[in-house]
Amino acid sequence: MADPRAQLADQQRALLAALVAGAAPPHGFDAERLRIQASSLIAKRRGLVAALRPDVVRALGQAFGREFHAYASGRPKPQGGSRADAAAFAEWLGERGLLAAAEPERQQKRHWWRITPKKDQYR
């Protein structure tokens, strides 16, 4: 008899691979529902990459969504999070000749001030 924890870990790995790496759905899972969830995860990644690299969004225009889906399908998010994902996407586009090698826009620092009323201002 197999170790239940090891069996569960194998099932979890298979599910994760189906969701983020384009693997076949594990036994007992609805393939269409997994496809929908995988697309949702790609859309979430696409939004984060778009926020980090507006220059890429402008350069690709309407093709941004299609190209990001082609890039992300079957490819898990790289180590390093969304910034690494954005950099890898830009590199992937450059390798395909769809994006000239360009330095990413510098993120402007946003300063937020807490506005506090003067003493007795609202009395």
Inform me whether the pLDDT recorded for 123 exceeds 70.
no
- ∠ CA 40-43-48, nearest 5°, is 135
Q: What is the pLDDT of residues 56-102, one digit of tens each?
A: 999 999 999 999 999 999 899 999 999 999 999 999 999 999 988 65
Residue at token pair 């003493």 = 119
CA–CA distance, 86 with 79 (Å, rounded to integer): 12
Say whether pTM exceeds 0.85.
no
Per the CB < 8 A criterion, the answer to whether 69 and 42 are in contact is yes
Element (H, E) at 56: helix 54-60
Band of pLDDT at residue 9, cut at 50, 70 and 90? very high
How much is the pLDDT for 82? Answer: 96
Instruction: Give the mean model confidence (pLDDT) for residues 35-59.
Output: 96
Inform me whether the pLDDT recorded for 13 exceeds 70.
yes
Q: What is the pLDDT of residues 101-116, one digit of tens each?
A: 655 555 444 444 555 5
Instruction: Give the residue among 101, 119, 23 at the shortest CA–CA distance from 55.
Output: 101
Extents of the domains making up the chain: 8-95
How much is the pLDDT for 2? Answer: 79
The first and second tokens of residue 108, run together, are: 């402007």
